[in-house]
Protein backbone atom coordinates (compact mmCIF):
# COMPACT_ATOMS: atom_id res chain seq x y z
CA UNK A 1 0.00 0.00 0.00
CA UNK A 2 1.42 3.36 -1.03
CA UNK A 3 0.32 6.74 0.20
CA UNK A 4 1.15 9.75 -1.96
CA UNK A 5 1.52 12.97 -0.02
CA UNK A 6 1.03 16.45 -1.52
CA UNK A 7 3.63 17.92 -3.84
CA UNK A 8 6.28 19.87 -1.94
CA UNK A 9 7.35 22.41 -4.53
CA UNK A 10 6.07 25.20 -2.30
CA UNK A 11 8.38 24.09 0.50
CA UNK A 12 11.38 23.89 -1.80
CA UNK A 13 11.23 27.53 -2.86
CA UNK A 14 12.56 28.76 0.47
CA UNK A 15 15.06 25.96 0.97
CA UNK A 16 18.81 26.30 0.70
CA UNK A 17 19.96 22.85 -0.40
CA UNK A 18 23.51 21.64 -0.03
CA UNK A 19 25.48 21.35 -3.25
CA UNK A 20 25.91 17.82 -4.48
CA UNK A 21 29.40 16.72 -5.42
CA UNK A 22 29.94 17.36 -9.12
CA UNK A 23 30.79 14.52 -11.49
CA UNK A 24 33.63 15.25 -13.91
CA UNK A 25 34.64 11.74 -14.98
CA UNK A 26 32.56 8.67 -15.81
CA UNK A 27 34.27 5.28 -15.91
CA UNK A 28 32.70 2.69 -18.23
CA UNK A 29 34.29 -0.78 -17.89
CA UNK A 30 33.98 -2.97 -20.98
CA UNK A 31 34.45 -6.67 -20.43
CA UNK A 32 32.34 -8.20 -23.21
CA UNK A 33 28.84 -8.25 -24.66
CA UNK A 34 27.31 -8.33 -21.18
CA UNK A 35 28.36 -4.70 -20.71
CA UNK A 36 26.30 -3.36 -23.62
CA UNK A 37 23.31 -2.21 -21.52
CA UNK A 38 25.56 0.19 -19.57
CA UNK A 39 26.66 2.12 -22.66
CA UNK A 40 23.50 4.24 -23.27
CA UNK A 41 23.30 5.04 -19.55
CA UNK A 42 26.93 6.18 -19.43
CA UNK A 43 26.45 8.29 -22.57
CA UNK A 44 23.40 10.08 -21.16
CA UNK A 45 25.03 10.72 -17.79
CA UNK A 46 28.08 12.18 -19.53
CA UNK A 47 25.75 14.54 -21.35
CA UNK A 48 23.91 15.57 -18.17
CA UNK A 49 27.04 16.04 -16.07
CA UNK A 50 29.14 17.38 -18.97
CA UNK A 51 31.67 14.80 -17.88
CA UNK A 52 34.50 13.02 -19.66
CA UNK A 53 33.87 9.40 -20.56
CA UNK A 54 36.68 7.00 -19.69
CA UNK A 55 36.24 3.69 -21.48
CA UNK A 56 38.38 0.94 -19.98
CA UNK A 57 38.75 -2.45 -21.63
CA UNK A 58 40.29 -5.23 -19.58
CA UNK A 59 41.14 -8.25 -21.66
CA UNK A 60 43.14 -9.69 -24.48
CA UNK A 61 42.88 -9.62 -28.25
CA UNK A 62 42.06 -5.96 -28.78
CA UNK A 63 45.05 -3.96 -29.98
CA UNK A 64 43.36 -0.57 -30.04
CA UNK A 65 39.86 -0.03 -28.67
CA UNK A 66 39.51 3.19 -30.64
CA UNK A 67 39.77 1.25 -33.89
CA UNK A 68 36.99 -1.22 -33.00
CA UNK A 69 34.29 0.71 -31.12
CA UNK A 70 31.45 -1.11 -32.93
CA UNK A 71 32.44 -4.30 -31.16
CA UNK A 72 30.92 -2.85 -28.02
CA UNK A 73 28.03 -0.95 -29.57
CA UNK A 74 29.84 2.38 -29.68
CA UNK A 75 29.42 4.68 -32.66
CA UNK A 76 31.90 7.23 -33.94
CA UNK A 77 29.87 9.93 -32.20
CA UNK A 78 29.93 7.99 -28.94
CA UNK A 79 33.70 7.75 -28.87
CA UNK A 80 34.30 11.38 -29.77
CA UNK A 81 35.98 13.03 -26.82
CA UNK A 82 36.23 9.78 -24.86
CA UNK A 83 39.43 8.65 -23.21
CA UNK A 84 40.37 5.00 -23.81
CA UNK A 85 42.43 2.76 -21.61
CA UNK A 86 43.28 -0.88 -22.10
CA UNK A 87 44.57 -2.55 -18.97
CA UNK A 88 46.04 -5.93 -18.29
CA UNK A 89 45.73 -8.03 -15.17
CA UNK A 90 42.69 -8.62 -13.03
CA UNK A 91 39.72 -6.54 -14.34
CA UNK A 92 38.41 -5.40 -10.92
CA UNK A 93 41.82 -4.13 -9.85
CA UNK A 94 42.28 -2.25 -13.13
CA UNK A 95 38.87 -0.59 -12.92
CA UNK A 96 39.34 0.33 -9.26
CA UNK A 97 42.83 1.73 -9.93
CA UNK A 98 41.58 3.99 -12.74
CA UNK A 99 38.61 5.13 -10.69
CA UNK A 100 40.84 6.13 -7.78
CA UNK A 101 43.06 8.17 -10.07
CA UNK A 102 40.18 10.25 -11.42
CA UNK A 103 38.68 13.11 -9.41
CA UNK A 104 34.91 13.43 -8.98
CA UNK A 105 34.27 10.06 -10.55
CA UNK A 106 31.22 7.91 -11.26
CA UNK A 107 31.37 4.25 -12.32
CA UNK A 108 28.67 2.96 -14.68
CA UNK A 109 28.64 -0.80 -15.24
CA UNK A 110 26.41 -3.79 -15.86
CA UNK A 111 25.47 -6.08 -13.00
CA UNK A 112 26.50 -8.98 -15.24
CA UNK A 113 30.18 -8.08 -15.71
CA UNK A 114 32.17 -11.26 -15.18
CA UNK A 115 31.08 -14.77 -14.32
CA UNK A 116 28.18 -15.37 -11.97
CA UNK A 117 29.42 -17.86 -9.42
CA UNK A 118 26.42 -17.87 -7.06
CA UNK A 119 22.70 -17.47 -7.66
CA UNK A 120 22.26 -14.50 -5.35
CA UNK A 121 25.28 -12.58 -6.56
CA UNK A 122 26.09 -10.37 -9.53
CA UNK A 123 28.91 -10.91 -12.02
CA UNK A 124 32.29 -11.54 -10.41
CA UNK A 125 33.82 -8.32 -11.77
CA UNK A 126 30.88 -6.24 -10.55
CA UNK A 127 31.09 -7.81 -7.10
CA UNK A 128 34.83 -7.22 -6.87
CA UNK A 129 34.61 -3.58 -7.97
CA UNK A 130 32.02 -2.94 -5.27
CA UNK A 131 34.22 -4.59 -2.66
CA UNK A 132 36.32 -1.42 -3.00
CA UNK A 133 33.31 0.75 -2.02
CA UNK A 134 33.25 3.29 -4.88
CA UNK A 135 31.75 6.57 -3.63
CA UNK A 136 29.14 6.65 -6.38
CA UNK A 137 28.23 4.09 -9.02
CA UNK A 138 25.35 3.17 -11.31
CA UNK A 139 24.47 -0.48 -11.79
CA UNK A 140 22.59 -1.37 -14.96
CA UNK A 141 20.49 -4.56 -15.29
CA UNK A 142 21.32 -6.56 -18.42
CA UNK A 143 17.66 -7.01 -19.32
CA UNK A 144 17.25 -3.33 -20.27
CA UNK A 145 19.22 -3.95 -23.45
CA UNK A 146 21.37 -1.59 -25.46
CA UNK A 147 18.62 0.95 -26.14
CA UNK A 148 18.45 4.70 -25.67
CA UNK A 149 18.08 5.73 -22.04
CA UNK A 150 16.22 8.87 -20.99
CA UNK A 151 15.92 10.33 -17.51
CA UNK A 152 12.42 11.62 -16.77
CA UNK A 153 11.50 9.95 -13.46
CA UNK A 154 13.84 9.50 -10.49
CA UNK A 155 12.97 7.54 -7.36
CA UNK A 156 14.91 8.46 -4.22
CA UNK A 157 14.80 5.72 -1.57
CA UNK A 158 15.04 7.14 1.96
CA UNK A 159 14.31 5.19 5.13
CA UNK A 160 14.22 8.15 7.48
CA UNK A 161 17.69 7.55 8.92
CA UNK A 162 20.71 9.86 8.62
CA UNK A 163 22.56 7.07 6.80
CA UNK A 164 20.23 7.61 3.83
CA UNK A 165 20.93 11.34 3.60
CA UNK A 166 24.00 11.16 1.29
CA UNK A 167 21.79 9.95 -1.58
CA UNK A 168 19.55 13.02 -1.47
CA UNK A 169 21.96 15.55 -2.95
CA UNK A 170 22.92 13.43 -5.97
CA UNK A 171 19.26 12.63 -6.69
CA UNK A 172 18.27 16.29 -6.50
CA UNK A 173 21.21 17.36 -8.64
CA UNK A 174 20.31 14.89 -11.39
CA UNK A 175 16.65 15.90 -11.24
CA UNK A 176 17.65 19.50 -11.84
CA UNK A 177 20.02 18.65 -14.68
CA UNK A 178 17.54 16.39 -16.46
CA UNK A 179 14.38 18.36 -15.58
CA UNK A 180 13.11 15.08 -14.20
CA UNK A 181 10.32 14.30 -11.76
CA UNK A 182 11.74 13.32 -8.37
CA UNK A 183 9.82 11.15 -5.91
CA UNK A 184 11.19 10.57 -2.43
CA UNK A 185 9.95 7.18 -1.23
CA UNK A 186 9.96 6.37 2.47
CA UNK A 187 9.44 2.73 3.41
CA UNK A 188 7.87 2.70 6.86
CA UNK A 189 9.16 -0.24 8.86
CA UNK A 190 6.86 -2.09 11.24
CA UNK A 191 7.09 -2.96 14.93
CA UNK A 192 10.59 -3.82 16.01
CA UNK A 193 11.90 -2.94 12.57
CA UNK A 194 11.29 0.78 13.05
CA UNK A 195 14.58 2.67 12.70
CA UNK A 196 16.49 3.06 15.93
CA UNK A 197 19.50 5.03 14.70
CA UNK A 198 20.06 8.37 16.36
CA UNK A 199 18.45 11.16 14.36
CA UNK A 200 15.98 8.83 12.63
CA UNK A 201 12.39 9.77 11.98
CA UNK A 202 9.93 6.87 11.92
CA UNK A 203 6.70 7.24 9.98
CA UNK A 204 3.29 6.77 11.63
CA UNK A 205 2.22 3.16 11.87
CA UNK A 206 -0.73 3.24 9.47
CA UNK A 207 0.42 4.22 6.01
CA UNK A 208 -2.94 3.42 4.39
CA UNK A 209 -5.17 5.55 6.64
CA UNK A 210 -5.47 9.33 7.13
CA UNK A 211 -4.03 10.19 10.52
CA UNK A 212 -3.42 13.36 12.48
CA UNK A 213 0.28 12.45 12.79
CA UNK A 214 0.85 12.54 9.03
CA UNK A 215 1.13 16.32 8.49
CA UNK A 216 3.70 16.70 11.29
CA UNK A 217 5.67 13.67 10.15
CA UNK A 218 5.66 14.74 6.50
CA UNK A 219 6.86 18.21 7.43
CA UNK A 220 9.74 16.83 9.50
CA UNK A 221 10.70 14.24 6.88
CA UNK A 222 10.76 16.84 4.12
CA UNK A 223 12.97 19.09 6.23
CA UNK A 224 15.47 16.25 6.40
CA UNK A 225 15.29 15.68 2.65
CA UNK A 226 15.57 19.36 1.84
CA UNK A 227 18.57 19.73 4.13
CA UNK A 228 20.36 17.08 2.12
CA UNK A 229 19.81 18.88 -1.18
CA UNK A 230 16.59 19.49 -3.08
CA UNK A 231 15.77 20.60 -6.61
CA UNK A 232 14.41 24.06 -7.38
CA UNK A 233 10.67 24.59 -7.51
CA UNK A 234 10.69 24.15 -11.30
CA UNK A 235 11.33 20.43 -10.78
CA UNK A 236 8.33 18.24 -9.97
CA UNK A 237 8.96 16.83 -6.50
CA UNK A 238 6.79 14.34 -4.60
CA UNK A 239 6.82 12.39 -1.37
CA UNK A 240 5.40 8.86 -1.14
CA UNK A 241 5.22 6.36 1.71
CA UNK A 242 4.81 2.61 1.73
CA UNK A 243 5.10 -0.12 4.33
CA UNK A 244 6.85 -3.46 4.24
CA UNK A 245 10.27 -4.85 3.37
CA UNK A 246 12.47 -2.03 2.11
CA UNK A 247 14.10 -3.79 -0.84
CA UNK A 248 11.01 -5.32 -2.36
CA UNK A 249 8.90 -2.20 -1.78
CA UNK A 250 11.41 0.14 -3.44
CA UNK A 251 11.77 -2.24 -6.39
CA UNK A 252 7.99 -2.51 -6.76
CA UNK A 253 7.56 1.26 -6.57
CA UNK A 254 10.22 1.76 -9.24
CA UNK A 255 8.37 -0.56 -11.61
CA UNK A 256 4.91 0.83 -10.84
CA UNK A 257 6.09 4.40 -11.38
CA UNK A 258 8.15 3.52 -14.48
CA UNK A 259 11.22 5.02 -12.84
CA UNK A 260 14.22 5.59 -15.09
CA UNK A 261 16.64 5.63 -12.14
CA UNK A 262 16.61 4.71 -8.46
CA UNK A 263 19.00 6.58 -6.19
CA UNK A 264 19.79 5.15 -2.76
CA UNK A 265 22.52 5.05 -0.15
CA UNK A 266 24.28 1.79 0.57
CA UNK A 267 26.51 0.82 3.47
CA UNK A 268 29.10 -1.25 1.65
CA UNK A 269 27.61 -4.60 2.64
CA UNK A 270 25.19 -6.74 0.63
CA UNK A 271 26.16 -10.30 1.45
CA UNK A 272 23.26 -11.24 3.70
CA UNK A 273 20.28 -13.05 2.21
CA UNK A 274 17.67 -10.30 2.65
CA UNK A 275 19.88 -7.35 1.64
CA UNK A 276 17.65 -4.46 0.56
CA UNK A 277 20.27 -3.00 -1.79
CA UNK A 278 20.66 -6.22 -3.75
CA UNK A 279 16.87 -6.64 -3.92
CA UNK A 280 16.44 -3.14 -5.37
CA UNK A 281 19.19 -3.59 -7.97
CA UNK A 282 17.73 -6.93 -9.04
CA UNK A 283 14.08 -5.97 -9.03
CA UNK A 284 13.75 -2.28 -9.95
CA UNK A 285 13.93 -2.89 -13.70
CA UNK A 286 16.02 0.24 -14.22
CA UNK A 287 19.53 1.51 -13.42
CA UNK A 288 20.27 2.08 -9.73
CA UNK A 289 22.70 4.71 -8.44
CA UNK A 290 24.36 3.65 -5.20
CA UNK A 291 25.87 6.39 -3.05
CA UNK A 292 28.27 5.00 -0.47
CA UNK A 293 27.38 5.89 3.11
CA UNK A 294 29.78 4.51 5.71
CA UNK A 295 27.51 5.29 8.66
What is the distance between the alpha carbons of residues 238 and 235, in angstroms, rounded to a whole number?
A: 10
What is the distance between the alpha carbons of residues 50 and 38, in angstroms, rounded to a whole number?
A: 18
pLDDT digit string, tens, across residues 135-166: 999 999 988 887 899 999 999 998 777 777 78
The predicted structure's pLDDT at residue 220:
64
pLDDT digit string, tens, across residues 87-129: 666 777 888 888 888 889 999 999 988 887 766 688 888 888 8
Are 2-19+149-292 and 25-141 in the same CATH fold? yes
In sequence order, the β-bridge partners of residue 54 are 27, 83
What is the distance between the alpha carbons of residues 10 and 195, in angstroms, rounded to a whole number?
A: 28
pLDDT for residue 12 is more than 50: no
Global confidence as pTM: 0.82
The predicted structure's pLDDT at residue 14:
42
pLDDT for residue 281 is more than 70: yes
Of the listed ranges 64-68, 184-188, 280-284, the least confidently predicted one is 64-68
CATH number of the domain at 25-141, out of 3.30.70.1890, 3.40.50.1820, 3.40.50.620, 3.40.190.10? 3.40.50.620
**Furthest-apart CA atoms within the chain: distance in Å:** 67
Helix axes 168-178, 38-49, angle to 10 degrees: 80
Are the CB atoms for 136 and 23 separated by under 8 Å? yes
Over residues 267-294, mean pLDDT: 86
Q: Burial-class residue 70 by CB neighbours within 10 Å (0-12, 13-18, 19+).
A: exposed
| Letter string b/e over residues 135-160, b meaning 16 or more CB atoms within 10 A of that residue's CB | bbbbbbbbebeeeebebebbbbbbbb
The predicted structure's pLDDT at residue 204:
54
Spell out the domain ranges in the chain: 2-19+149-292, 25-141
| pLDDT mean across residues, the chain | 76
The predicted structure's pLDDT at residue 8:
45
The predicted structure's pLDDT at residue 284:
95
The predicted structure's pLDDT at residue 136:
93
pLDDT for residue 45 is more than 60: yes
Question: Residue 206's pLDDT band (boundaries 50, 70, 90)?
Answer: low
Domain 2-19+149-292 has CATH 3.40.50.620: yes
Q: How many whole angstroms from its chain centre is CA 107? A: 11
Higher-confidence residue of 70 and 109: namely: 109
Most confident of 21-30, 76-85, 103-112: 103-112
Amino acid sequence: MQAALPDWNHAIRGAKPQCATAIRNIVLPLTGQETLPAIPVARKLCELYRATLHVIYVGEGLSDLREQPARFGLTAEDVRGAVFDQASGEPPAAVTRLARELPEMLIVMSTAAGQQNENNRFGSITESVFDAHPPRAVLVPPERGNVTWTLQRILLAHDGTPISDPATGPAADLAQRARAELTALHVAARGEERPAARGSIAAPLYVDQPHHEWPAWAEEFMKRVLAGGAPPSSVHFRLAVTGGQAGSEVAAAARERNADLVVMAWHGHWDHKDCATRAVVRGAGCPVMLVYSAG
